[in-house]
A and B are shown apart, each in its own frame.
Chain A
Amino acid sequence: MTKVIAITGKGGTGKTAVAALLIRYLSKKGKFILAVDADADANLPETLGCENVKTVGDAKEYLQDEITKPKPDNPDMNKESVLKSKVYEIIEEMPGYDLLVMGRPEGSGCYCYVNNLLRGIMDKLIVNYDVVVIDTEAGLEHFSRKIIRDIDDLLVVTDASRRGFRTAERIRELVTELDSKVGNIHIIANKVTDANREELVKLAEDLKLDLIGMIPLDPKIMEMDIKGIPLFEIPDDSIAAMEVEKIVKKLGF
């Protein structure tokens, strides 16, 4: 069975970095992964070290344009197989994992039909992988559209602030309104220091949030960021990578 893990959180909390570290560790463990960038503002591909990636948004737009032409060239086009082909074409094949970028938002027309086709394609695509890791915006739009139907584990990344935890609480509320099934919700506190560690644990307890891990503020990550080195190349003994390893183990890997 494929396990679907979604990572979300407010912008600036470092959720994309956490996603990259998670993918890196799972891939090292020999899991075959589909990494999905479902946040138009995020930069998972760059963090992983890929550039100029085409997106599902482009594929959708291509099909939408093709089928809503006033006079289509081929009214009998097999739209499902054409869309599937476009999606399979944009999947970036990296060593040990595949990358799929959702990309730009929809145009003004009606995408019910195209999204319905896409749902079917995603359902069948996901089965190819051991794990699907999705970096998604806090609004969880792709889940409300059910492009990806079910999430086994939702990880909410927060920075070490009270406001960050409040956001996590709001996301938890949002999830209960979603039609998608979400198995477990966990919190990851990021950029943690010795000064705020204890307080954060207490805050999570007060808000009844499951704090699955606390990733320390890692000077190595800042250094790599400045030098423009993809996070995927972080050494195993960096303090952040070690904490992510613990989190992944808690998730049952």
Chain B
Amino acid sequence: MTEFPFEISPMFEGERVRKEGMFVELGGPKSIGLELVRSKPMDEIEDDKVTIVGPDIKEMEEGKTYPWAMIFNIGGELVEPDLESVVERRVHDFINYCQGIMHLNQRYDVWMRISKDTAGKLDSLEPFGKAVMMLFKTELPFIEKMQVTFYTDEEEVKKQMDEAMEIFRARDARTKDLHDEDVDVFYGCTLCQSFAPTSVCVVSPDRIALCGAINWFDGRAAAKVDPEGPQFEIAKGELLDAKTGEYSGVNEIAKKLSGGEFDKIKLHSFFDSPHTSCGCFEVVGFYIPEVDGIGWVNREFQGMAPNGIGFSTMAGQTGGGKQIIGFLGIGVNYFYSPKFIQADGGWNRVVWLPSMLKEKITEAIPADLVDKIATEKDTPDIASLKAFLQEKNHPVVASWAAAEEEEEEEEEVAEEVAVPAAPMMMPTAGFQIPAMPMMAGGKSGSGIKVTFKNAKITIDRMIISEKKE
């Protein structure tokens, strides 16, 4: 291995170069800083070459901040444009392995500092460039050839920045266009298992984690760096049902991570084997049997949903890492998924949203449905919701006529069950009854009525509503 004038080790990763010990600062909050990785044909790359455009270390003035851009070109039989962002993420790691060089942030916000100690051992940035490329080629052997250009000249950096912004925009557009069918692996996350032990969080390109914080790309990055960490790969396995989003690999991991509690998770299903709900979810969906539709409440909404329950109560019933039929926790970004609860009608099944949430995600809602979905301003309760949907001719209305005949029969066997009373006869497999908040029994108003319909052996529906006087 080539000798470098500074030490190289992962132990320097968190090293902080302080103002007092700093020779120069590159990019950062006081200037502009850029990093970009591009895939190029093999014959366009001069392997291991470092080019410096603008002042090099020996021409730099101590204590100053310089604009900064670094453009890495990579080539190899397996190198393709989709790998650029994967490789680019590692720039942060590898630069920080170099003693006395601090690298922070990413893309167009890069911030670096070179310590006095390290600068004293360097006349030029060339050995630094060579060290970083050596790390890349050692750790990511699919990179066969690599070259880098460092820019410290303001005009040049600006020019590179303009070009790079276009590239980032195009890359982001591609990223947003990535779907479940385009990848071989999904990612699991167990961060929530500390309080929801059977929670199985599956993150796919078309389904963000419930907390809204972890998407497929985060899963990929984290699993690569620490495969034993809280985010890990799930091989998709066989596609069992495209509509519901059922995969053999996901079912296997569901069984394993829930300790056998569930054997199936269908990624885009609301009713049948839905995703588990940890408690961290940004939004909770709830079935409204009276209109055969689904409403959603976000964490920030303080009021009551038309079923008379607010977010926190519903979250209490839904959370804990179970599959709760009739409730589903999601991240806000899932509303934008083209597969949004597609097993159960997708947007055609959505009847109610708090106005603040509806406003926030309007562009995700199909244009012909926007006015047909009610908010707390239109309908405070079920009766007015029903009238609203009828008036707007919401798609769910078509299903009402068909259900009506059935309904009449059901009414006769409907039975009221006092919640905390006698132990309920529940089917052992299938689903969990939401944990009920304990209510002071008997007093007016606040009681809960649970109605089981068609409940002879199995339960098709469960309705939780405010008890009418």
Contacts and interface: CB of A to CB of B under 8 A. Distances in A.
Contacts of A50: none
A109 interface: yes
B271 interface: no
Determine which residue in A76, A82, A84, A113 has the highest number of CB atoms from chain B within 10 A of its CB, and name it: A76
Measured as residues with beta carbon below 8 angstroms from the partner, the interface class of chain B is: 35 or more
Contacts of B214: 113
B224 to A, nearest CB: 12
Nearest to B362: A70
Given A70-B361, A116-B230, A125-B16, A76 B175 contact: yes
B225 to A, nearest CB: 8
Contacts of B106: 77-78, 81-82
A113 B209 CA distance: 10
Interface stretch (A9-17, A87-95, A187-195, A230-238): A87-95
Determine which residue in B19, B89, B281, B364 has the highest number of CB atoms from chain A within 10 A of its CB, and name it: B89
Contact of A71 (B18, B109, B336): B336
Contacts of A110: 210-213, 280-282
B333 A71 contact: yes
B299 A109 contact: yes
B332 A85 contact: no
A139 interface: no
Contacts of B331: 68
Contacts of A79: 218
A64 B213 contact: yes
Given A68-B212, A71-B333, A75-B172, A112 B191 contact: yes
Contacts of A109: 211-212, 282, 299
B422 to A, nearest CB: 36
B287 interface: no
A158 to B, nearest CB: 33
B212 A67 contact: yes
A108 B361 CA distance: 19
Nearest to B212: A68
A79 B220 CA distance: 12
Contacts of A78: 89, 92, 106, 221
A27 B336 CA distance: 53
A93 B104 contact: no
A74 interface: yes
A85 B111 contact: yes
Nearest to B221: A78
Interface string B135-177: 0000000000000000000000000000000001001100110
A105 interface: no
A166 B175 CA distance: 58
Given A81-B92, A85-B105, A85-B109, A68 B213 contact: yes
A242 interface: no
Contacts of A76: 85, 171-172, 175, 217
B308 interface: no
B14 A121 contact: yes
Given A76-B85, A125-B16, A81 B105 contact: yes
Given A75-B176, A81-B92, A110-B280, A67 B213 contact: yes
A72 B208 CA distance: 12
Nearest to A81: B92
B217 A116 contact: no
B335 A70 contact: yes
Contacts of B29: 89
Contacts of A72: 215, 333
Contacts of B416: none
Contacts of A64: 213
B79 interface: no
Contact of A70 (B105, B172, B280, B364): B364
Contact of B360 (A70, A74, A77): A70
Given A110-B280, A113-B213, A91 B16 contact: yes
Contacts of B48: none
Contact of A68 (B168, B217, B332): B332
B192 interface: yes
Contacts of B209: 113
A125 B14 contact: yes
Nearest to B109: A85
A93 B172 contact: no
Interface in B62-112: 85, 89, 92, 102-107, 109, 111
Contacts of B216: 75
Nearest to A116: B191
Contacts of B252: none
A128 interface: yes
B104 A88 contact: yes
A68 B218 CA distance: 13
A150 interface: no
A114 interface: yes
Contacts of A68: 212-213, 282, 331-332
B15 interface: yes
A213 B209 CA distance: 50
A93 B18 CA distance: 7
A125 B171 CA distance: 32
B281 to A, nearest CB: 8
A65 to B, nearest CB: 11
Determine which residue in A77, A108, A127 has the highest number of CB atoms from chain B within 10 A of its CB, and name it: A77
Given A85-B109, A108-B299, 9 more contacts: A70-B335, A74-B107, A76-B217, A84-B104, A93-B20, A95-B20, A98-B16, A112-B192, A121-B14
6 interchain residue pairs of minimum CB distance: A124-B14, A110-B280, A85-B105, A85-B104, A113-B213, A110-B211
12 contacts: A67-B213, A75-B175, A78-B89, A78-B92, A78-B106, A89-B111, A109-B211, A109-B212, A109-B299, A110-B280, A110-B282, A128-B16
